[in-house]
C-alpha cells in the first residue's frame, strides 16, 4: 500500500535504518575495539580440531574397510590402464572412430580421429590414455551406483527427502574439498582420483535418473499396467526405456563431471596422466608445454561430451551412416579393423609406439611467442591489470580508504576527500530517494560504504547485518535466517577472512561476467550471425575442465589475483550469455506479435517487451554465473588467490580434514545462499509477470 | 435389451488424500459422507458411483473435466484402488482379486485406450501393438502376426515400422486402439480417446469406432466430455458432476427428460431433430393419439428420428402411423404433435 503523504516510516526502512546504525557504530569504534574487524582467535570454536579428531577416530576404525575398496578398485583400474596403454594407438583410434560413427555419424568420427591424432602427434598419447583409463572405470561405477540410488530414491518418499538436499550439497561443495577425506580414507595413489571422480559424478546421474523416471507420462505407465505387465516388466520394458534419453543425459553429465575430477585429482600427483602434465608444466611456468597438454584435455572433454551426448539424443534404430550398413555391422567391422591393426602393430612397431622423431612438439615456439608478446605489449598488459586492480579489485577488497594512494590513484586520501565522498554519497542517496524510492538510496548507501571500507577491512558485524538484512528484505525471513547461520558459521569457525576474500573476488568477477555476458547475450539475441559465432565458443568453454582455462590467462598475466579474476570471468560468462540470449529469444511470440502490430520498433521491442519479460530467466542466468564463478574460484587457488580456495588447497597438501571440511562447507554455503536468494527472486518475478 | 450384465459397479467411492479409510468407518448417507470428506480436506473424486453395463453395450460416461470420469474408469480396472464399493466382472468382485489374478484379468479380459495415447516412444507401431502379447510371453512370430492383423483392422497398414512420433494424432490413437484390441478383450475401456484430436479427425474416428463395434461387439465404457459425442455413440449415458452420477439413461431420454438443470444445460444446444424419435413424440402427446384409424397412411418405425420422418410428415396432411418393432400400430403423430414435443423439450 502506498500512502502518498503518510508520515509513517515503512517497517522495512526501519529495519534498514537499524542495520545502518549498527554498521555506523561498528565503523566508528573499529580502531578502539579491534575485535570488530579481526575476529579474535580466542573466540573461534575449535570445529576444525573436533572434525579432525572425529575423522582420526573414524579412519583408525574403518581404514580396513576403505582400504579394501581401494584395493579392489585399483585392480579394476590397472586392468583398464593395461588395456588402454597396451592397445596400439592406431588400433585405439579405429576403435574410437567406430564408436563415434555409431553414436553420431561421420562428422563426429572425423572429429574424434582428428582429436586423437593430435594426442599422438604431439606425443601425449600415453598420458591421455591414463586419464581415459581413470574415466573409463569411474564412469560406469558412478552410472551404476547413481542409477540405483536414483531408482531407490524414487521408490520411497522418505529416501527422496534425504537424497535431494544431499545432492544439493554434493554439487555445491567445491571439487578440491572432496579430495581431502578421500585421501585420508583411501590412501594415496591413482585410486583417490578414481574414487573422487566416481563420487563427484554420482549426483548428476542420480538427479537425471530421478527426473527421467518421474517424467514418464502416467498414461504410458498405465498402458503398461493395462497390458498386464508385472512390476518387473513395467520397469524394464516401460519406465526404463521411456526414460532412457534423459538418463543418457545423466550419463553425459556424469562423464563430464568424472573427467573434470580426474583432471583436478592430478593435484595430488599420483598418476602420470595428462592433468599432471598440465599442472607440473604450469608450476614450472612452461606455458607452451602446458598449453599443448591443456589442448589435449580440452579435446578429450569435447570428444567424450559429443559422443555421450550423441548417444543421448540420437534416434537409435533410424539412423544409418553407411547406406545399407546397420549399427551392428559397423561395430563388427570396427572390431575387425581394430584387430587387424593390433596384429599389424606387431609387424610395424610404428603403429604401436609412435616414434619419437615423428613427434611434433612446438612448445618452444609457443614460449617464444608468449615472451615476445609479453615484452612488446608489457605496457598495455600492465595497464589493463593495474586498471582492474586499482579501480575495482582493491577497493572491493580493502576499500577505497586503503587503496587511494599517490602511487595508485595519483593522490592522497585526505580527510577532506573522505568527507567529500561521504557527503556526495549522502546527497546522491537523498536525491535518488526522493526521485525514486528509499530502496534505491539504501542500495546506493550500501554500495558506497562497501566500496569505501572494503570486504576485508569492514567490521564483521557490519558485513553480517547488511548481508542478512539484504537477504531477508529481498526474499524473506527464512532466507535471512539461513544467511545469518551461514555467515555465523564462517565467523565462529575462524575462516571469516578467507571467506571475505573469496566473497569479494567472486563478487567482482560475477559483476564483470554478468555485465559483459548480458551485453553479449542481448547482442546475440538481435543478431543471428553473432549468435552463431558465440554458440560454439560458449559450448566449448562450458565443457572445458576448469584447469585448462587458467593456462592462456597465466601465459600473459603471471600468477596473481588478476589472473584468477580473468579465468573466473572466462568461465562464468557462459551462463550469463546463454540465459540472457535464451530468455530474450523465447519471450511468448504472441506478446511479441502484439507489440509489433502496435508499431513497436525493434529497439522498443527489446527494451519495453523482451527484456522485462526475460528478467526471471536472466536472474537464473545470474544464479548460474555465481555457481560457475565459485567453482572456478577454487581452482583459481592454483594461481595464487587467497581465500577459501587457498584454505582448501592448504588442507589438501597437509591432509587437514577439518580445515578442508570447514572451508568446503563455507564455500557450499555461499553457493547455496546465493542460489536460494536468486531462485526465490526469479520465482517471484515470474509470478508477478504471470508467467508459468 | 435383454443381454446379461457384464460389468457392474456398486457404490464406488474414491477419496484422494492420506488415510482416507477414516471416512468409511460408519454407515451414513452419501451426502453427509461427502461433506465429511470435503471438511477433512480430502478430494472426493468419485462418490457412490453405481451402474451396470450389459454385454455388447456402449456405455458412455460424460461430464466436465474434473468431474471424476477418469477416476471411475480407472477404478473399474483397479489402476486406481477405489476407497469403497464393488466392481463386478461377470459377477465376480474384482476388488478381491490378488495381484497375480488381476494381472491375468488385465492380460486377457480388459483393454484400454488413453486420451494422450500412452504409446511407448521407443517402440515401433508394430512393437507397440504387440506389446500386450509380449508381456504375456507369446513368441515373436505369433504376436507379430496378431499385431499385423490389428493394424490392418484400424487401417494403418504400411506404417508398422514407424515410431509413434512420426504419426499424426489420429494415427497414434489408431495404434492405441489396435493395441487395446490385440488381446481380444471382453471389456473395452476408452478414456476420452478422441478429445486430443482435431474436430474433423474426431468425427472420422467416431465413425471408425462405431464400425469396429459393429464388427467386434465389445462391452464398452467410453469416457467423454463432449455431449454430442456421447449422444452419437452411446447406447446409454451416465452424466457425472463433482464425483456424483447425476443421471443414467438413453440419449433420447436424457434430452427429453433431463433429471435436473445441470443435465438440461447440456441438452440445450443439442439439435432436437437428431435425437427425438417418433416414439418420444407419441409418449409426450399420448392423450391425443387415436390408434388403428390411420392404418392406411404412411407408417414409420417408432425409433426413427424426427430428422428422418419430417419429409414424410410434410407429405401427408393427416399425420403418420407409428409402428413398433413387430409392426403393431402404436399410434399416430401429426405435425402439431411434433411441434408440441419440440416446444416441450425446449422449455426444459
Ligand atoms: N492423484 C490425484 N490426487 C489428488 N486429486 C486427484 C488425483 N487425480 C485426480 N484428482 C482430482 O479428482 C477429481 C477428478 O479427477 P478426474 O477423475 O481426473 O476427472 P476427469 O477425468 O473427469 O477430468 C479432480 O478434482 C482432480 O483434481
Ligand atoms: Mg480425465
pLDDT tens digit sequence for A134-161: 999 999 999 999 999 999 988 888 888 8
Q: Are residues B222 and B284 in the same domain?
A: no
Contacts of A220 in chain B (CB under 8 A): 118-121
Q: Which residues lie with the beta carbon below 6 Å from any ligand 1 atom? A: B 16, 43, 45, 63, 65-71
pLDDT tier for residue B132 given thresholds of 50, 70 and 90:
very high
Which pLDDT score, from 0 to 100, does residue A475 have? 85
Tell whether B23 lies on the interface with A, counting CB pairs under 8 A.
no
How far out from the chain centre does Cα A123 lie? 30
Which pLDDT score, from 0 to 100, does residue B2 have? 66
CA angle A563, A568, A571 (to 5 degrees): 130
ipTM score of complex: 0.85
Which pLDDT score, from 0 to 100, does residue A161 have? 82
Name, in order, each residue with C-beta under 8 angstroms of A240's C-beta and a sequence gap of 6 or more: A213, A247
Which pLDDT score, from 0 to 100, does residue B291 have? 52
Q: Of the ligands numbered here, which is closest to the C-alpha atom of B69?
A: 1
What is the atom index within ligand 1 of the atom nearest the CA of B192? 21
Nearest to B221 by CA among B254, B187, B193, B246: B187
CA distance A549 to A570: 7
* Residue among A220, A228, A241 whose CB faces B135 most closely: A228
Ranges of H-type helices in chain B: 30-39, 69-77, 99-108, 125-136, 140-153, 169-181, 199-216, 227-233, 251-256, 261-267, 272-275, 278-284, 306-315, 335-347
Mutational pocket test of ligand 1: of B66, B83, B115, the residue with most ligand atoms within 8 Å of the beta carbon: B66
- pLDDT tens by residue, B142-153: 999 999 999 999
Phi, psi (5° rounding) for residue A264? -65, -35
Q: Is the pLDDT of residue B167 over 90?
A: yes
What's the CATH code of the domain at B310? 3.90.1280.20
Nearest to A666 by CA among A480, A491, A419: A491
Which pLDDT score, from 0 to 100, does residue A2 have? 44
B157 within some domain: yes
B10 within some domain: no
Kindly identify which residue of chain B lies nearest to residue A222, measuring between CA atoms. Answer: B79
Distance B174 CA to ligand 2 centre (A): 19
B204 within some domain: yes
Q: Are residues B297 and B180 in the same domain?
A: no
What's the CATH code of the domain at B100? 3.40.50.300
Q: Is the pLDDT of residue B208 over 90?
A: yes
Phi, psi (5° rounding) for residue B241? -150, 125
Beta bridge partners of B46: B14
Q: Are residues B165 and B265 in the same domain?
A: yes
* Residue among A217, A222, A242 whose CB faces B79 most closely: A222
Mutational pocket test of ligand 1: of B15, B43, B72, the residue with most ligand atoms within 8 Å of the beta carbon: B43
Sign of the dihedral through C-alpha A206, A207, A208, A214: positive
B116/A219 touch (CB, cutoff 8 Å), yes or no = yes
Q: Where does a domain end: B271, B299, B319?
A: B271
A225/B106 touch (CB, cutoff 8 Å), yes or no = yes
Tell whether B180 lies on the interface with A, counting CB pairs under 8 A.
yes
For chain A, the farthest-separated pair of C-alpha atoms sits apart, in whole angstroms, at 95
pLDDT tier for residue B294 given thresholds of 50, 70 and 90:
low
Which range marks the domain in which residue B240 is found? 54-78+95-271
Burial string for B37-73 (b: 16+ CB within 10 Å, else e) reads beeeebebbbbbbebebbbbbbbbbbbeeebbbbbbb
When comparing pLDDT for B295 and B46, which is higher?
A: B46
Which pLDDT score, from 0 to 100, does residue A356 have? 81
B332 within some domain: yes
Q: Are residues B342 and B246 in the same domain?
A: no
| Number of domains within chain B | 2
Whose Cα sits closest to atom 27 in ligand 1?
A: B66
Q: Are residues B264 and B296 in the same domain?
A: no
Residues with CB under 5 A from ligand 2 (ion): B 70
Tell whether B87 lies on the interface with A, counting CB pairs under 8 A.
no
Nearest to A576 by CA among A609, A539, A621: A621
What is the atom index within ligand 1 of the atom nearest the CA of B74? 17
Which pLDDT score, from 0 to 100, does residue A5 have? 46
Q: What residue ranges of chain A are covered by domains with CATH 1.10.3720.10?
A: 11-38+380-399+454-689, 125-283
CA distances from B93 to A118, B14, B86 (A): 71, 17, 6
Which pLDDT score, from 0 to 100, does residue B320 have? 82
Which pLDDT score, from 0 to 100, does residue A400 have? 86
- pLDDT tens by residue, B295-322: 556 788 887 888 888 888 887 777 788 8
Which pLDDT score, from 0 to 100, does residue A320 have? 47
Tell whether B119 lies on the interface with A, counting CB pairs under 8 A.
yes
What is the atom index within ligand 1 of the atom nearest the CA of B80? 1
Q: Are residues B256 and B281 in the same domain?
A: no
Whose Cα sits closest to atom 26 in ligand 1?
A: B66
In chain B, residues 49-68 whose CB comes closer than 8 Å to chain A: none
Question: At the top level of CATH, which class does the domain A125-283 belong to?
Answer: mainly alpha
Mutational pocket test of ligand 1: of B45, B116, B189, B241, the residue with most ligand atoms within 8 Å of the beta carbon: B45
Q: Of the ligands numbered here, which is closest to the C-alpha atom of B18?
A: 1
Which pLDDT score, from 0 to 100, does residue B290 have? 56
What pTM does this model have?
A: 0.85
> Is residue A132 within 8 Å of residue A259, measured between CB atoms?
no
Residue B14: strand, helix, or coil: strand
Q: Are residues B288 and B309 in the same domain?
A: yes
B103/A242 touch (CB, cutoff 8 Å), yes or no = no
pLDDT tier for residue B348 given thresholds of 50, 70 and 90:
low
B209 within some domain: yes
What is the atom index within ligand 1 of the atom nearest the CA of B223? 21
Q: Are residues B294 and B260 in the same domain?
A: no
Mean pLDDT, 10 residues at a time, chain A of 692 residues? 57 86 87 85 88 91 89 89 88 92 88 94 91 92 94 85 84 82 83 89 93 93 95 95 92 92 82 87 86 92 91 62 68 88 84 81 86 88 89 87 84 87 91 87 88 88 92 89 94 92 92 95 93 90 85 85 92 94 90 87 88 90 92 87 88 89 91 88 84 66
Q: Are residues B121 and B106 in the same domain?
A: yes
CA distance A250 to A254: 6
Q: Are residues B131 and B185 in the same domain?
A: yes
A241/B107 touch (CB, cutoff 8 Å), yes or no = no
Distance A214 CA to ligand 2 centre (A): 20
B37 within some domain: no
* DSSP character string of A448-493: HHHHHH-TTTS-HHHHHHHHHHHHHHHT-HHHHHHHHHHHHHHHHT
Q: Is the pLDDT of residue B51 over 60?
A: yes
- Mutation for B interface: A225, A228, A235, A313, most B CBs within 10 A: A228
CATH of A11-38+380-399+454-689, one of 1.10.390.10, 1.10.3720.10, 1.10.357.10, 3.40.50.1100: 1.10.3720.10
Whose Cα sits closest to atom 21 in ligand 1?
A: B70
CA angle B79, B84, B86 (to 5 degrees): 75
Q: Are residues B278 and B241 in the same domain?
A: no
Count Cβ atoms below 10 Å from residue B198 Cβ, excluding itself. 12
Distance B14 CA to ligand 1 centre (A): 10
Helix (H) or strand (E) holding A146: helix A125-155
Q: Where does a domain end: B271, B288, B311?
A: B271
Q: Are residues B185 and B327 in the same domain?
A: no
Q: Where does a domain end: B271, B302, B325?
A: B271
Amino acid at each position: 500500500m502506498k500512502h502518498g503523504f503518510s508520515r509513517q516510516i515503512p517497517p522495512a526502512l526501519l529495519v534498514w535504518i537499524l542495520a545502518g546504525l549498527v554498521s555506523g557504530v561498528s565503523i566508528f569504534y573499529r580502531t578502539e575495539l579491534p575485535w570488530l574487524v579481526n575476529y579474535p582467535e580466542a573466540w573461534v570454536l575449535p570445529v576444525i580440531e573436533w572434525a579432525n579428531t572425529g575423522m582420526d577416530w573414524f579412519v583408525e576404525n574403518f581404514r580396513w574397510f576403505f582400504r579394501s575398496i581401494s584395493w579392489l578398485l585399483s585392480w579394476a583400474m590397472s586392468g583398464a590402464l593395461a588395456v588402454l596403454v597396451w592397445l596400439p594407438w592406431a588400433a585405439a583410434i579405429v576403435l574410437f572412430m567406430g564408436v563415434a560413427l555409431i553414436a553420431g555419424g561421420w562428422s563426429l568420427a572425423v572429429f574424434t580421429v582428428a582429436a586423437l591424432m593430435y594426442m599422438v602427434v604431439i606425443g601425449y598419447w600415453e598420458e591421455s590414455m591414463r586419464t581415459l583409463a581413470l574415466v573409463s572405470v569411474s564412469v560406469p561405477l558412478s552410472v551404476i551406483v547413481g542409477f540405483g540410488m536414483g531408482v531407490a530414491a524414487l521408490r520411497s518418499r522418505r529416501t527422496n527427502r534425504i537424497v535431494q538436499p544431499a545432492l544439493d550439497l554434493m554439487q555445491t561443495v567445491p571439487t578440491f574439498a572432496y579430495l581431502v577425506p578421500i585421501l585420508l580414507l583411501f590412501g594415496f595413489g591413482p585410486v583417490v582420483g578414481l574414487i573422487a571422480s566416481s563420487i563427484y559424478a554420482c549426483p548428476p546421474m542420480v538427479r537425471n535418473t530421478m527426473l527421467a523416471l518421474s517424467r514418464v507420462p502416467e498414461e504410458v505407465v498405465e498402458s503398461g499396467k493395462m497390458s498386464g505387465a508385472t512390476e518387473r516388466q513395467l520397469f524394464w520394458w516401460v519406465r526404463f526405456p521411456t526414460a532412457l534419453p534423459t538418463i543418457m543425459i545423466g550419463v553425459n553429465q556424469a562423464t563430464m563431471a568424472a573427467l573434470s575430477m580426474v583432471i583436478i585429482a592430478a593435484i595430488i600427483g599420483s598418476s602420470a596422466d595428462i592433468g599432471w602434465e598440465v599442472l607440473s608444466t604450469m608450476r614450472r611456468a612452461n606455458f607452451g608445454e602446458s598449453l599443448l597438454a591443456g589442448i589435449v584435455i580440452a579435446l578429450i572433454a569435447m570428444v567424450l561430451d559429443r559422443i555421450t551426448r550423441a548417444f543421448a539424443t540420437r534416434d537409435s534404430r533410424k539412423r544409418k551412416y553407411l547406406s545399407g550398413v546397420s549399427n551392428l555391422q559397423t561395430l563388427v567391422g570396427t572390431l575387425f579393423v581394430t584387430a587387424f591393426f593390433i596384429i599389424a602393430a606387431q609387424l610395424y612397431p610404428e603403429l604401436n609406439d609412435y616414434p619419437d622423431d615423428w613427434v611434433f612438439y612446438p612448445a618452444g615456439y609457443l614460449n617464444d611467442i608468449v615472451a615476445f608478446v609479453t615484452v612488446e605489449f608489457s605496457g598495455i598488459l600492465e595497464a589493463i591489470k593495474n586498471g582492474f586492480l586499482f579501480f575495482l579489485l582493491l577497493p572491493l577488497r580493502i576499500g577505497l580508504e586503503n587503496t587511494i594512494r599517490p602511487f595508485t590513484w595519483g593522490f592522497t586520501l585526505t580527510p577532506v576527500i573522505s568527507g567529500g565522498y561521504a557527503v556526495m554519497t549522502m546527497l546522491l542517496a537523498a536525491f535518488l530517494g526522493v526521485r525514486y524510492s528509499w530502496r534505491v538510496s539504501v542500495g546506493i548507501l550500501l554500495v558506497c560504504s562497501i566500496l569505501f571500507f572494503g570486504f576485508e577491512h569492514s567490521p564483521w558485524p557490519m558485513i553480517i547485518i547488511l548481508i542478512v538484512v539484504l537477504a531477508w528484505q529481498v526474499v524473506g525471513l527464512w532466507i535471512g535466517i539461513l544467511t545469518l547461520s551461514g555467515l555465523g558459521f564462517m565467523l565462529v569457525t575462524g575462516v571469516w577472512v578467507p571467506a571475505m576474500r573469496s566473497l569479494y573476488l567472486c563478487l567482482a568477477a560475477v559483476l564483470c561476467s554478468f555485465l559483459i555476458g548480458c551485453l553479449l547475450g542481448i547482442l546475440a539475441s538481435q543478431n543471428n550471425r553473432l549468435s552463431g559465432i558465440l554458440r560454439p565458443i560458449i559450448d566449448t568453454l562450458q565443457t572445458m575442465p576448469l584447469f585448462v582455462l587458467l593456462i592462456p590467462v597465466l601465459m600473459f598475466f603471471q600468477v596473481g589475483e588478476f589472473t584468477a579474476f580473468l579465468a573466473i570471468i572466462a568461465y562464468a560468462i557462459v551462463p550469463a550469455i546463454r540465459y540472457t540470449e535464451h530468455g530474450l529469444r523465447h519471450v511468448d511470440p504472441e506478446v511479441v506479435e502484439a507489440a509489433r502490430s502496435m508499431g513497436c520498433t525493434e529497439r522498443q521491442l527489446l527494451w519495453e517487451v523482451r527484456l522485462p519479460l526475460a528478467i526471471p530467466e536472466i536472474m537464473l542466468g545470474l544464479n548460474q554465473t555465481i555457481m560457475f564463478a565459485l567453482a572456478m574460484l577454487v581452482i583459481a587457488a592454483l594461481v595464487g588467490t587467497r581465500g577459501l580456495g587457498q584454505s582448501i588447497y592448504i588442507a589438501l597438501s597437509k591432509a587437514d580434514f577439518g580445515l578442508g571440511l570447514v572451508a568446503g562447507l563455507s564455500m557450499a554455503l555461499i553457493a547455496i545462499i546465493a542460489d536460494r536468494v536468486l531462485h526465490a527472486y526469479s520465482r517471484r518475478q515470474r509470478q508477478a509477470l504471470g508467467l508459468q | 435389451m435383454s443381454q446379461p450384465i457384464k460389468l457392474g459397479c456398486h457404490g464406488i467411492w474414491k477419496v484422494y488424500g492420506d488415510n482416507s479409510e477414516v471416512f468409511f468407518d460408519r454407515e451414513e448417507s452419501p451426502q453427509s459422507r461427502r461433506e465429511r470428506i470435503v471438511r477433512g480436506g480430502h478430494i472426493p473424486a468419485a462418490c457412490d458411483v453405481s451402474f451396470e453395463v450389459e454385454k455388447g453395450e456402449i456405455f458412455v460416461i460424460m461430464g466436465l473435466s474434473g468431474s471424476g470420469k477418469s477416476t471411475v474408469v480407472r477404478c473399474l480396472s483397479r489402476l486406481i484402488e477405489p476407497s469403497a464399493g464393488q466392481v463386478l466382472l461377470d459377477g465376480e468382485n474384482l476388488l478381491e482379486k490378488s495381484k497375480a489374478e488381476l494381472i491375468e484379468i488385465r492380460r486377457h479380459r480388459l483393454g484400454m485406450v488413453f486420451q494422450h495415447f500412452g504409446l511407448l516412444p521407443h517402440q515401433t507401431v508394430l512393437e507397440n501393438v504387440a506389446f500386450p502379447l509380449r508381456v504375456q510371453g507369446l513368441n515373436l512370430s505369433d504376436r507379430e502376426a496378431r499385431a499385423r492383423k490389428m493394424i490392418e483392422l484400424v487401417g494403418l497398414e504400411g506404417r508398422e515400422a514407424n515410431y509413434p512420433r512420426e504419426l499424426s494424432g489420429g494415427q497414434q490413437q489408431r495404434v492405441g486402439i489396435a493395441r487395446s484390441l490385440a488381446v481380444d478383450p471382453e471389456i473395452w475401456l476408452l478414456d476420452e480417446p478422441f478429445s486430443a484430436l482435431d474436430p474433423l479427425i474426431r468425427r472420422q474416428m467416431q465413425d471408425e469406432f462405431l464400425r469396429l463395434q459393429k464388427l467386434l461387439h465389445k462391452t464398452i465404457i467410453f469416457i467423454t466430455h463432449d455431449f454430442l459425442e456421447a449422444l452419437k455413440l452411446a447406447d446409454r449415458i451416465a452424466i457425472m458432476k463433482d464425483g456424483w452420477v447425476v443421471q443414467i439413461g438413453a440419449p433420447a431420454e436424457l434430452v427429453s427428460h433431463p433429471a435436473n438443470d445441470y443435465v438440461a444445460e447440456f441438452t440445450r444446444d443439442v439439435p432436437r431433430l437428431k435425437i427425438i424419435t417418433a416414439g418420444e413424440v407419441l409418449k409426450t402427446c399420448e392423450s391425443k393419439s387415436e390408434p388403428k384409424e390411420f392404418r392406411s397412411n404412411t407408417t414409420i418405425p417408432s425409433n426413427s428420428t424426427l430428422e428422418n420422418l419430417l419429409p414424410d410428415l410434410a407429405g401427408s396432411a393427416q399425420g403418420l402411423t407409428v409402428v413398433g418393432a413387430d409392426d403393431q400400430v402404436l399410434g399416430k403423430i401429426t405435425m402439431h404433435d411434433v411441434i408440441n414435443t419440440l416446444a416441450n423439450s425446449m422449455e426444459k
